[in-house]
Structure 1
Amino acid sequence: MGDAGLSPRQLAHRVGVSTKQVERWVGDADLTPHARNRADACRALGVDEEMLWPKAVQERVKTGGDREIVQSYPYRSACPSTVWAELVASARTDIFLAGYTGYFLWTQVPHFAETVRRKAESGCRVRFLVGDPDGTVTRQREEIEDVALTVSARIRTTLEQLTRLGPVAGVEARMSSPRDATSHVGLSVFRFDGEALVTPHLARLVGHDSPLLHLRRHGASGMFDRFAEHAEELWGRAEPWSPTAGD
């Protein structure tokens, strides 16, 4: 206020609040004004909001249970298996597993097949979206990764597990279409009602070496919704697969 040549009374007049309210802002560092008042005060003083109320700025972008980014991991393998198990167990209406291979779920989540069956029987929709093990993008990705456990082998492992599970009402599986394979192989989205685990696949790295974000839906058109919409778009153009159709 001194730099701007404004007294508490003058700033209060500019912002549209009482002089006493401005004095409370000055005297109480933990007091955060309403967003509109913060914006008006910053315009009047010619400073950025983070200079006056850094806590408010940090809360807008911080991660945590009350924001869309619950946790981030530098590697998918760093995400505890208990997180996967808890998300699967807590889902009530929709489990959408849109990883290009998805094979690790049977080893990452204890009793995964039994849990999937139980969830479907209780009315939860369970979907698997995988890549085509014989597709061009799959072969290209195998050359890029150059690992013993190939992409096609990992996909076939998932298909074998789904075959063992057998036809279960409420469990669906599809293969991404050739036009979407590149988009699918580069981004895995695993959704459990209003939470999701998302992995962008980096360069030559296999899935467990790529980073992972744990998201929780916090509002419309946020990060959760954008990733969910991406997966739904791939699903809408994917080819149905069933154990009787083979792989």
Structure 2
Amino acid sequence: MNTALHVAMSRTGMTPATLAGKVGVDPKTVARWLGGRVPHPRHRSQVAQVLREDEDVIWSGLLKRGYDREIRAAWPTRSAVPRELWNDLIHRATSRIWCAGYTSYFLWTEVPGITPTLRNKAASGLDLRFLLGLKDSPVTHERERIEDAALSISTRIDITTAELTKIEPTPQVRHTDRHISLSVWIFDDEALVSTHLADQLGHASPTLHIRRRGPGGLFDQYANHVDHLWETAHAPAPAP
């Protein structure tokens, strides 16, 4: 019997039928998991997200002992990341949300009601930062040429900037072109990391979900990366 799975389901009020519906399997399959059968990796990730528990807690026999234990899930594209995960990470954050995507424009299409949510987070004193790209940088212009997208990078930066003006207190915003190929979004001690590929748009980027397990791991590396870029980035000129 998988006692940890049973406890996690009880804590969240899940029955085999309701959990089955959340992850798209038959209730009999969930019953087999409760009996000790180990699900496929995709279903393990989905169950962990639904139950808001770590995979290595629910299936301790699969425990990773190296730095790779900080990797909670992986997807071949950013668009494959469940919308519910973005929403959950943003809503659960209490100390910091650092958005270090070149535009982070997609957040306003993926997360319902994100503007009032961020407004409430900022008002609570949460450290809310947006590290955006540099519109006039040659790096940006070259990437726009490569992508050849109808909605240019510069336009997406403008849209995000306009949305951020609707938030009070105003989030901290800085600009750099040094993260054109790597986007990191940090929510307390968890992060989503996307590595951009060739001529593909951001939604086609492989993406990792990482949770901090201790000092010097993957999470700290990415968080330190964002912090360094922030310290060396350009603050926007004050409005006239």
TM over 0.5: yes
Give the aligned residue type for 1:138: T
Alignment partner, residue 132 of structure 2: 130
RMSD value over aligned CA atoms? 2.1
User: Does 2:65 correspond to 1:60?
Assistant: yes
Alignment partner, residue 198 of structure 1: 193
Contact 2:133 2:175 in 1 (8 A): yes
Cα distance in 2, alignment partners of residues 125 and 117 from structure 1:
12
Taking the TM superposition and a 5 Å limit, the aligned residue runs for 1:154-169 are 154-165=156-167, 167-168=168-169
Q: Structure 2 length as normaliser, TM-score?
A: 0.71
1:220 to 215, 219, 225: 215
Alignment partner, residue 152 of structure 1: 154
Q: Secondary structure at the match of 1:96?
A: strand
Alignment partner, residue 48 of structure 2: none
Decide whether aligned partners of structure 1 residues 140 and 81 sit closer, same or farther in structure 2, where only a CA change above 3 A counts. Answer: same
Please report how far the alpha carbon of residue 120 of structure 1 lies from its aligned counterpart in structure 2 after TM superposition.
1.1
Q: Structure 1 length as normaliser, TM-score?
A: 0.69
Cα distance in 2, alignment partners of residues 123 and 162 from structure 1:
16
Q: Hey, which bits of structure 1, 4+ residues long, moved more than 6 A?
A: 55-58
Q: List gaps (5 residues or longer) in structure 1.
A: 1-54
Please report how far the alpha carbon of residue 207 of structure 1 lies from its aligned counterpart in structure 2 after TM superposition.
0.7
Cα distance in 2, alignment partners of residues 85 and 109 from structure 1:
6
Number of residue pairs matched?
A: 181
Tell me which moved more, 68-77 or 144-153: 144-153
Who wins on radius of gyration, i.e. which is larger? 1
Q: Secondary structure at the match of 1:241?
A: coil
Q: List gaps (5 residues or longer) in structure 2.
A: 1-59
Cα distance in 1, alignment partners of residues 67 and 215 from structure 2:
18
Contact 2:67 2:218 in 1 (8 A): no
Give the aligned residue type for 2:239: A
Alignment partner, residue 142 of structure 1: 144
Cα distance in 2, alignment partners of residues 128 and 99 from structure 1:
8
Decide whether aligned partners of structure 1 residues 188 and 72 sit closer, same or farther in structure 2, where only a CA change above 3 A counts. Answer: same
Decide whether aligned partners of structure 1 residues 77 and 57 sit closer, same or farther in structure 2, where only a CA change above 3 A counts. Answer: closer
